[in-house]
């Protein structure tokens, strides 16, 4: 029993952490609960509207499947579902009609053939990367609805009546979802993406600003966890692509128009990732530096310039990050870049003048220099985008 | 019309490419088509079994939703669906029963409350990363079935009869999918993961073996696309995790037992990725080296050792890759590592002895040295895993 209580306490902590990390998760859960119970009320409206009854089921199904965390995802799925149901319903009706013309014997054979053909083609279509990203769910719904309509043994007028009910309940389901997700504590995928990108760049700025002090030993605290904040960007590509896909469905909100250039965010993020690979290499040299305790003569020569480079670059990135956040043009960035460039030139000059006896230590400065040039490139690119 | 034909031709090329890249995609599409048409035949079995009829729909729905590309994904979804339907059905029946006890007036209110509670809790549960990865679909199905059962206006004996039919059709749907995916041209997620990991390591080996020649200028062809094969590993984490999740559902196949340590693959892959970040830095230095044409004095000194290090490491990785492929222990790897270490020591000694006037060129060798130490670490780790 003691162990059971321990498990429960641990579980409670996990739940608390999930909720605290992003309180919108709790709001989302309540929203889903509300929407579902709202839609299920439809069932009890029978006397008034005269016959939703069992068609309520498809409204419930729609809500369960369509309601997603962000507005964009919900809109995308709702659109997919509506379009796919409509198209497949029409095609299925056509197939059914054709099969009826063939008489009682030909009927199953023709339907069988149609189903096989459509299911195979649609399954293959799902492998196209572009369709997989945006219309995967729609294609699934298409196969499903087509099968349901064409196989059902109803007469044609029955199908039409059923279709009418089905379409209206699905529309109600979709609309409820869309309204709930847009007007009740909305979660915008676009805004999230925007914040994520700015956050990633800021983490890199933190790293660069802290790097100098840590590496050249003016500060030696061992708590380096804050330095590794930039690591989250390394594997975030898939999540970002999904967010950008969702964001494309979203209407204008806050400072974003419909048709905001979301793809630019992916480009910026790609460059940020390139930069993160370099930071990863830098951070490795910190760890190896921690082991070798005594600072060498060579290191003293490069300390000043290197620290300036990394701090100026950190400032530049910080600038870019807050420019993205506020959607302004980063005016002062170029100053920082120029400063960093000057420091880099100083460093080159200093290096040309000296003679080296203990080359091992060069491990230390070279990554910094190569990162410098890379960062410069990145910053140039970011400037070009200038939303 | 000309443009239309161009578009069609382009589309045909795309289709051809998709099919050629992985012919299993075509087989998969045909499998889905066959399974669906098989299951829809159930509808016509009415006279014999006495009454699948409209319940066929849920079999069709099951097939459309459960049938996935790999065996593991299909099994996982099938299991999720079966378990969730069963659990939610039982709970929904209980809720329905409780609500009936409360009389005509309390009935809707109690149901409303239950639906709200379950939908909210289940939606929140979906945010747990562990559940998201393996049971996301099951939780969705759970909400859906619970709503359907508890809202339906049937009497209790009707629900039981419906549940009986529903369960049997869903079971038939799941079984057909599982049988089709296991016995007809199976696609094993585990095998794919295994191949992918070995392939990624091999690409890195290719890069290292080619790097020396390209960098030190004994060969200067500009076609570097083959070098960048290793880049695919940089962003493959999400795909690998999904594959490992699917692989855990799969029964014994080929050389893999059920319960094969799939997580080890993710660890290896994580280390491979660490290594790829370093290769990325190396590859950058190649490009900058391409611009500076004349080889320097310093470069001549390090050429031999560096080339040996990179070639030996390439061989070691090659060895590991083929050891993974054949599932043997990589015996000769240690020799290559020792060779690489010796070469690295030679390099250090050579560097200590010389005096440098033109330090700029140091950009070139240092990444190689840091990569060396990192590769050594990685190889040690991989040896420890030794399946």
* pLDDT category of residue B352 using cuts at 50, 70 and 90: low
Q: Least CA distance to A115: which residue of chain B?
A: B37
Residue B164 has pLDDT above 60, yes or no: yes
User: Are A56 and B151 a contacting pair at CB < 8 A?
Assistant: yes
Percent of chain A at pLDDT above 70?
A: 70
The nearest CA of chain B is from the CA of A110 a distance in Å of 11
| Contact assignment for A121 to B29 by CB distance below 8 Å | yes
| Contact call for B362 and A360, based on CB within 8 A | no
Its ipTM equals: 0.75
Higher-pLDDT residue of B379 and B202 is: B202
Is the per-residue pLDDT at B256 higher than 70? yes
CB–CB contact B355 A360 (8 Å): no
Look at residue A16 and tell me whether its pLDDT is greater than 60.
Answer: yes
Contact A61 B284 (CB under 8 A): no
Q: Which positions in chain B touch A378 (Cβ < 8 Å)? A: none
* Residue A65 pLDDT level (bands cut at 50, 70, 90): confident
Q: Rounded to whole angstroms, how far apart are CA atoms A28 and B124?
A: 8
Mean pLDDT computed over A137-162: 77
pLDDT at residue B324, rounded to an integer: 76
- Taking an 8 Å cut-off on Cβ atoms, the answer to whether B127 and A25 are in contact is yes
Reply yes or no on whether the pLDDT at B330 is more than 70.
Answer: no
* CB contact (8 A) between residue B367 and residue A362: no
Share of chain A above pLDDT 90, in %: 0
Q: In this complex, do A356 and B355 lie within 8 Å of one another by their Cβ atoms?
A: yes
- Of the residues B13, B20, B40, B176, the best mutation for testing chain A's interface (the one with the most A CB atoms within 10 Å of its CB) is B40
User: Distance between CA atoms of B307 and B314, rounded to whole angstroms?
Assistant: 10
pLDDT > 90 fraction of chain B, expressed in percent and rounded: 0
> Of A283, A318, A126, which Cα lies nearest the Cα of A205?
A318
pLDDT digits 0-9 by tens, A262-287: 777 787 777 777 777 767 766 666 66
pLDDT at B386 over 70: no
Query: DSSP 3-state assignment of B378?
Result: helix
Residues of B whose CB is below 8 A from A373? 288
- Structure token digits, residue B89: 């059905």
Q: In the predicted model, what is the mean pLDDT of residues B192-209?
A: 80
pLDDT tier, A24 (very low <50, low <70, confident <90, very high otherwise): confident
Task: Calculate the CA dihedral of residues A259, A261, A263, A267 and round it to 10 degrees.
Answer: -170
Q: Which residues of chain A does B351 touch, with a Cβ-Cβ cutoff of 8 Å?
A: 359-360
Inter-residue contact A278 to A367 (CB < 8 Å): yes
Q: Do A153 and B43 touch (CB under 8 A)?
A: yes
Average pLDDT over residues A80-103: 83
Asked if A147 and B64 come within 8 Å (Cβ–Cβ), the reply is: yes
Q: Which one has a higher pLDDT value, A360 or B210?
A: B210
Closest chain A CA to residue B370: A363
Tell me which residue of A333, A338, A313 sits closest to A323, measured CA to CA. A333
Which has more pLDDT, B383 or B177? B177
Burial of B254 (0-12, 13-18, 19+ CB in 10 A): exposed
B64/A143 CB distance under 8 A: yes
Helix (H, G, I), strand (E, B) or coil at B154: coil
Considering only the beta carbons, identify the residue of B34, B124, B360 that sits closest to A116.
B34
Closest residue, chain A, to B288 (C-alpha): A370
**What is the CA B283 to chain-centroid distance, rounded?**
26
Distance in Å, alpha carbon of A328 to nearest chain B alpha carbon: 31
Exposure of B302 by Cβ count < 10 A (0-12 exposed, 13-18 middle, 19+ buried)? buried
User: CA-based diameter of chain A, in Å?
Assistant: 96
CA distance A355 to chain B (A): 6
Of A36, A148, A239, nearest to B57 by CB-CB distance is: A148
Q: Residue A361: what pLDDT?
A: 40
Question: Any idea which residue has 């809720």 for tokens?
Answer: B95
pLDDT higher at B58 or A53: B58
- pLDDT over 60 (residue B209): yes
- In this prediction, residue A302 has a pLDDT band, given cuts at 50, 70 and 90, of low
User: Measured between CB atoms, which of B33, B234, B358 is closest to A117?
Assistant: B33
pLDDT of the residue at A238: 79
Q: What is the pLDDT of residues B2-48, one digit of tens each?
A: 778 888 888 888 888 877 877 888 888 888 888 888 887 776 665 54
Least confident of A178-192, A357-371, A373-387, B268-282: A357-371
Q: Which of A119, A285, A305, A354 to mutate to probe the B interface, most B CBs <10 Å? A: A119
**Residue B60: its chain A contacts at CB < 8 A?**
144, 147-148, 151
Contact A61 B367 (CB under 8 A): no
Mean pLDDT score across all residues of chain B = 73
Instruction: Write the residue in B61, B235, B374 that is nearest to A144 by C-beta.
Output: B61
Q: At a CB cut-off of 8 Å and minimum separation 6, what does B4 contact?
A: none
Nearest to B123 among A28, A41, A108 (CB): A28
Decide which of B67 and A103 is more confident. B67
What's the distance, Cα to Cα, between the start and end of chain B in Å? Answer: 59
**Average pLDDT for B255-267:** 75
Chain B residues touching A360 at Cβ < 8 A: 348, 351-352
> Looking at residues B59-79, what average pLDDT do you find?
84
For A151, the closest of B29, B30, B56 (CB atoms) is B56
**Higher per-residue pLDDT: A285 or B254:** B254
Q: Is the pLDDT of residue A358 over 50?
A: no
Nearest to B25 among A41, A56, A124 (CB): A124
Q: Specify the higher pLDDT residue, B337 or A362.
A: B337
Contact yes or no for A53 and B153 at CB 8 A: yes
- Residues A367, B366: C-beta atoms closer than 8 Å: yes
Phi/psi of residue A68, nearest 5 degrees: -120, 175
The tokens 């030696």 sit on which residue? A220
Residues of B in contact with A124 (CB under 8 A): 15, 18, 25-26, 29
Interchain contact, B124 vs A18, CB within 8 Å: yes
Cβ separation B119–A33 shorter than 8 A: yes
pLDDT of A216 reads 63
Cα dihedral sign for A82, A83, A84, A90?
Answer: positive
Distance CA A91, CA A93 (A): 5
Q: Give the three-state DSSP class for A18.
A: helix
For B354, the closest chain A residue by CA position comes to: A357
Nearest to B127 among A18, A119, A362 (CB): A18
Q: Is a pLDDT exceeding 60 seen at residue B214?
A: yes
Residues of A in contact with B369 (CB under 8 A): 363
B85-119 in b/e form (b: 16+ CB < 10 A) is bbebbebbbebbeebeeeeeeebbebbbebbbebb
The whole-chain average pLDDT of chain A stands at 73
**Structural Rg of chain B based on CA atoms:** 30
Given a cut of 50, whether residue B217 has pLDDT beyond it is: yes
Report pLDDT digits (tens) over B116-149.
888 888 888 888 887 777 788 888 888 888 887 7
Closest partner residue to A33 (CB to CB) among B64, B120, B363 is: B120
Which chain B residues have a beta carbon less than 8 Å from that of A14?
Answer: 128
pLDDT per residue over B353-385, tens digit each? 554 444 444 444 454 555 555 555 555 555 555
pLDDT per residue as tens digits for the range A315-334: 777 777 777 777 776 667 67
pLDDT at residue B358 in the model: 41
Across the interface, whether the CB atoms of A363 and B366 are under 8 A apart is answered yes
pLDDT for B154 equals 64
CA distance B74 to A286: 46
Say whether A54 and B281 touch across the interface (CB within 8 A).
no
Contacts of B143 in chain A (CB under 8 A): 36, 64
Pick the residue of A54, A276, A359, A363 with the most B CBs within 10 A to test the interface with B by mutation: A359
Q: How confident is the model at residue B294 (pLDDT cuts 50, 70, 90)?
A: low
* pLDDT of the residue at A364: 45
- Is residue A347 very low, low, confident or very high in pLDDT (cuts 50, 70, 90)? low
Tell me the average pLDDT across A39-59. 64
All residues of chain B having their beta carbon less than 8 Å from the beta carbon of residue A18 are: 124, 127-128
Q: What pLDDT, in 10s, does the model give residues B300-322?
A: 666 677 777 777 777 777 777 77
Please write the tens of the pLDDT for every residue from A209-242. 777 666 666 555 555 666 666 777 777 777 888 8
Task: Please count the residues of chain B.
Answer: 387
| 8 Å CB contact between A234 and A280 | yes
């Amino acid at each position: 029993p003691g162990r059971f209580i321990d498990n429960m306490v641990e579980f409670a902590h996990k739940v608390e952490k999930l909720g605290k990390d992003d309180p919108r998760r709790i709001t989302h859960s309540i929203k889903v609960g509300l929407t579902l119970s709202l839609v299920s009320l439809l069932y009890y409206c029978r006397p008034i509207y005269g016959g939703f009854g069992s068609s309520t089921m498809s409204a419930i199904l729609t809500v369960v499947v369509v309601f997603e965390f962000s507005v964009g995802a919900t809109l995308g799925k709702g659109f997919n579902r509506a379009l796919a149901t409509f198209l497949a319903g029409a095609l299925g009706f056509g197939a059914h009609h054709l099969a009826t013309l063939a008489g009682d014997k030909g009927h199953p054979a023709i339907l069988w053939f149609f189903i096989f053909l459509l299911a195979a083609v649609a399954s293959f279509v799902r492998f196209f990367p572009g369709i997989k990203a945006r219309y995967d769910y729609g294609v699934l719904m298409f196969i499903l609805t087509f099968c349901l309509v064409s196989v059902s043994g109803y007469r044609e007028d029955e199908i039409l009546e059923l279709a009418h009910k089905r379409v209206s309940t699905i529309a109600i389901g979709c609309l409820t979802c869309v309204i709930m997700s847009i007007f009740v504590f909305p979660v915008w995928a676009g805004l999230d993406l925007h914040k994520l990108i700015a956050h990633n760049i800021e983490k890199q700025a933190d790293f660069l600003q802290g790097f100098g002090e840590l590496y050249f030993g003016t500060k030696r605290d061992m708590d380096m966890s804050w330095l590794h904040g930039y690591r989250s960007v390394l594997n975030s590509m898939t999540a970002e692509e999904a967010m950008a896909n969702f964001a494309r469905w979203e209407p204008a909100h806050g400072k974003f128009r419909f048709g905001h250039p979301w793809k630019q965010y992916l480009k910026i993020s790609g460059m940020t990732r390139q930069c993160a690979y370099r930071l990863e290499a830098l951070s490795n040299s910190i760890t190896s530096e921690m082991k070798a305790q005594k600072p060498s003569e060579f290191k003293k020569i490069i300390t000043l310039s290197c620290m300036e480079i990394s701090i100026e670059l950190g400032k530049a990135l910080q600038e870019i990050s807050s420019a993205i956040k506020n959607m302004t043009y980063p005016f002062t960035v170029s100053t920082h870049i120029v400063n960093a460039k000057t420091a880099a030139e100083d460093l080159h000059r200093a290096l040309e003048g000296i003679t080296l006896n203990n080359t091992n230590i060069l491990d230390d400065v070279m990554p910094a220099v190569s990162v410098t040039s890379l960062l410069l490139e990145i910053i140039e690119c970011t400037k070009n985008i200038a939303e």
